[in-house]
Amino acid sequence: MRILYVSAYPPAVDGIGDYTAALAGAVRDDGHDVRVVTARPVDGAPDEVLGALPRSRGALADLLERIDAWDPDVVHVQFAVAMFGTRLRALVRLMAALRARRANVVVTLHEVTRDTGSLRAAGRAIYRRVAGLADRVVVHTEQSRAALTGPVGAAVEPVVVAHPRRELPTATASASELRARHGLGAGTVLLSFGFIHVDKGLDDLVDALARLGRRDVRLAVAGTVRRRQGVFRVFELRDRAHLRRVRRLIRRCGLDDHVVFAGYVPEGEVRAWFELAAAAVLPYRRIEQSGVANLAVAAGTPVLASEVGGITEIGDPRWRFPARDPERLARGLEDFLAWRDGRGDSRPSREAGHDLESFANATVAIYA
């Protein structure tokens, strides 16, 4: 089978791009042929990349000529609004053109509830349009399916395929090296990992850390604000304003020495951050799924998460707390740390779940 993916793709830094690369690698290992159209031009793109989403109709015709020459059996679009941004119109034009061709068009909708919650009516219209251009629609959670067929009003029957358990990349740094580099000392480290976003509740976590009052606990914020383009830059500016408020809260609470901003995390340091942390804390206010939670599971790192979205299905239910409630989060942290102190730094067993091979097999079955 010849499968064309339309998505962000490495070496571009994007979680969905990493997901697509892992899926593409797994189906290729199973004997299928793979090509990729990237959301935006990528320097140093691998050989399987046919090109990027075009901005003009002339460039679209050129791309379609290359796609027709390869003649895919399936086109699989990986969709989230932030990933395509100003190229949403180009994506819609491409999908509409491909519907008239032989290939089946499949779309995985990665952020239904989050995008429609942020963009409201515009977000619902975007998701109706994109879903309507596909022969099959895939989502990762029951919440997404309910939102798509309910409030969004898409006339589709989505297939729910749970997000695969992620594998940790090969380490190029150790936990002790990260402790030394970022001045984390020998105490307990809680980890906030990934893009800094207003919906991820970092201010609630800082507030809870102040309420906790344990001077031996430090918070490592490993990530940056996502870069946006065009009209979507307003969301980047919103997240940067959120980060400034968080920094002011840190100063006001006297936590300057207890919160470390590590910035962007290279792939080779991901494993070390999760091995270093006593727990990954996800005080999200609105989320559909979480690659961070899956990385924590792969590392055997406990997950403390708010009761929203698909992350309620990951980790130990003892370490759940209501969203937007720093006081309950502080109590949850206190309970977790007391439990951990009582049993040492032993790690939970890595949870069972869809490994990449079984996830790829389920996805190929949808293609067929």
Digit-coded pLDDT (tens) for 214-237: 889 999 999 999 888 887 889 899
Q: Can you give the pLDDT at residue 168?
A: 85
Q: Can you give the pLDDT at residue 350?
A: 52
Q: Which residues of the chain have pLDDT under 50?
A: 351-353
- Kindly write down the DSSP assignment for every residue of 220-266, as one continuous string: EEE--PPP--GGGHHHHHHHHHHHHHHHHHHHHTT-TTTEEE--S--
R_g (Cα) of the chain, nearest Å: 21
Rounded-to-integer distance, Cα 283 and Cα 287, Å: 10
Q: Can you give the pLDDT at residue 347?
A: 59
pLDDT tens-digit series, residues 132-167: 999 999 999 888 999 999 999 999 999 999 888 777
Q: Can you give the pLDDT at residue 279?
A: 96
Q: Can you give the pLDDT at residue 352?
A: 43
Name the amino acid, one letter, at 52.
A
Domain count, the chain: 2
Residues 137 and 211 in one domain: no
Residues 221 and 305 in one domain: yes
DSSP 8-state class, residue 89: H
Rounded-to-integer distance, Cα 312 and Cα 139, Å: 16
Residues 240 and 100 in one domain: no
Structural domain for 244, as ranges = 175-343
Q: Can you give the pLDDT at residue 354?
A: 63
* Sequence-ordered list of residues with C-beta below 8 angstroms from that of 91, at least 6 positions apart, any chain: 6, 39, 53, 77, 79, 84, 130
Residues 160 and 121 in one domain: yes
Residues 197 and 109 in one domain: no
